Structure 1
Amino acid sequence: MILLVDDTPENLISLKNVLEKHGFEVDTANSGEEALKKVLKNSYVLIILDVQMPEMDGFEVAEVISGYSKAKETAIIFLSAANTEFRFIAKGYSSGGLDYITKPVDINILLLKIKTFYRIYEQSRKLGEVQKALLEEIEFRKAAELKKDEFISIASHELKTPLTSVKGYIQLLERGLAKGDIEQVKSHLSKAQIQLEKLNGLIADLLDISKIESGKLKFNKQYFDMDTLLENIIEVMHQSNPDFKIIKNGSVNVKVFGDEMRIEQVVVNFLTNAIKYSPGTNEVLLNIRLQNNELYVGVKDFGIGMQPEQVKRVFEKFYRVEETSHRFQGLGIGLYISSEIISRHGGHINVNSVYGEGSEFYFTIPIDQLMTDV
């Protein structure tokens, strides 16, 4: 938009009409004070500023405008009928003007200058956008590089932990066998098996991340009974966490069309996290129902919960809540993988959480992927 500033109404009207006929959007001000108010409220590509105005001349207006951060990219053309001497022209440039035109104005020359300023403005704007995009890309790559390094460090630590434990249990097994203590051998074997299962889970998550990144995460979809799947998951989870009660609320008489093992992976991830992040509690709820033409499956715990800013990022790849990262093991990719699985089933995944009170992670699957039992 162009701002015309002149204390003579006839000049404003005639120049405004000419510029609008050539497709320019034009605003006007009949004094320096009015011009300053408009510059503060609006953005202008160009200001055409009359020099001879009462109370506040064009030079003074330009000097004030040059101090506005909002208008630092705005070009100013001075128009003057009286001050045509070099010293006045020089003052116009030193006041922040990019051009100084004497009256009477050759409208064709003025139009050429305006078009040139617009072209320069567009080129500058596009260059600024490219520069901003490049800076954002550089910053993104630095964030990505830092996350990758952090992830490698975390993964190395998490993989070494169960390996070190297994190594220790093997040494204890050797001693137990040498002593002939069968009960001790069985105990160490059981504990070693738990660590191997942890290691297997970590490796499976790493492989899933790799498959997601390469677009090779495969799904074997067929109809399966959701209630039966959840009952089986509860039974298996209870065996490894006998002190925790998993209470199933609700039942749905439907078969889901999807990858049963992948859906199981999501529910197990929810339950595992619920138990892990709920120290001092012994109960989680597994909620299932049909709502709004969708299947709803949620796991509610009564643990540490999350802050709102953490909730926003919890499904990001490699994200780990800072204050829990040193207290709880994990790679920070389980929920990211879960979100990819549910997305590939046409569903939605989310969490409701209150800091200090607990969380409910849930997913929904559209009803058109379900088949009601007859």
Structure 2
Amino acid sequence: MILIVDDRQENIYSLQKILELNGFEIDAATSGEEALKKILKVQYDLIILDVQMPGMDGFEVAETIKGHSKSKDIPIIFLSAVNIEKKFITKGYTSGGIDYIAKPFDPDILLLKVKTFHKLRRQTIELNETQKTLRAEIEYRKQAESDLSESVDELRSILQSIPQIAFTANAGGAVEFINQHWYRYSRSKDVLPKTLPGKTSVADCIRKAIGSGKPLVEEVCIRDLEFHLFRYHTLTMTPVKKNDIITKWVGMFTDIHEQKMANQLLEQRVAERTLQLQSSNAELEASNHELQQFAYIASHDLKEPLRKIHFFSDLIKSRYLNGNEDAVANMDKIIRSSDRMRNLIMDILDYSKLSIPESFERVDLNAVINDILVDMDLLIIEKKAIIDVCTIPQLEVNASQIRQVFQNILSNALKFTRTGTQPVISIKASLVADKQLDSPETPDGPFCRIEIADNGIGFNEKYLDKIFVIFQRLNSREEYEGTGIGLAIVKKIVDTHKGLLTARSVEGEGSTFVIILPVHQNNS
């Protein structure tokens, strides 16, 4: 913008029109005082200043403008129709003007000068801005170099203080700095530590890191110059970036020799122990097989004399003891004892068979439970029991073994009922996320949680672990029949199915048996 200062409006008007027609933006002031006020508020590119004005003349205005830091660089062209002598022209230049034009003036000459001085002013402003930017950039670079120097010094101080071997390398991998621990494995900064023949070298690791541009952790075995031994180390290469460009690498060797030797010794001992365990497992498997055969044969052979005891006891009772009540009572005790022994032997046979591996297949558990309820129909009617069975998902199980599970639990529920209370038994199931008792239900869960609840006599939960142990009973034989093997069989079957079994109960209020089985055996 150009400021025209003249006390006559007609002079301002004629100049303004000439300059505006040539694309210049014009502002005007009719006195020196008004011009100074405007100069404080607006940044002008050129001032055209009349010399002869009332109040402050042009020379005074120019001196004031040049004395102010904000406006001192604005070019001033003097215009005068009266003061055209040499001394006035000289005073114009000494006051800060860059040209002195006498009126009347040639518009074309004035326009050429205005264009020239205006262009020079714009170039001067741009040059000043460029210089300002360059000065700021120089200061920034100086500060960056200072910060970088401080960072490098700090990094080297840190690397000197750590117990590991440490070094820095430039972007191309050339080593620039090493700490004192380096000399235990190399005589010079320019020689990398020697690695075990046939193993990865330090140079290979550096090239690998530079090639990937990413942090690298590699195990190397380098030679200790003092003891002439190779020691295992972990070499870590970390890139240092500036503006996402790698400018330096920091390398560090951490001694892991003792851990490596300890791990090798541990692996050797684990391998030896594994062989011992495999041998022991083979012996145990053979022993278990022999024990199973013994249990089967022994139990099978015991049944024959028991059949004879039962048969001849019953024969003596019916033929020779009529009328002798004491003898009949004693003989009944013998018969009942033989029956219990037979049941015990049968249960032992069932329990021993559970160790034999069985195949698994997809089974409809609702159909299995329905078959069991049909077999128990007379007992259910006798007890007037109510049994509610919800839909159970199909699972991969051994059908005959899983039948024993439900049969034993349902038999107990019907056996251990409270006097005067109608038995109520419920069976419900849901798919769950994990093999945990409190696992949340989920439609596609890999496990199935089955809960069998009754309102029978219940038991004290402090005996929970006891009820699943073979031959353990919580009630007297005289009060409730049984061998104490039923729940042990259930537990063993659930274990062979890779499942979970537990129970919840309150004495006098009933029990709930919880079974968690995998839907698919290969996913358990």
TM-score range with shorter-chain normalisation?
0.3 to 0.5
Identify the structure with the greater helix proportion: 1
Report the structure number with the largest CA radius of gyration: 2
Higher relative contact order by CA 8 Å / sep ≥ 6: 1 or 2? 1
TM-score, structure 1 normalization: 0.44
TM-score, structure 2 normalization: 0.34
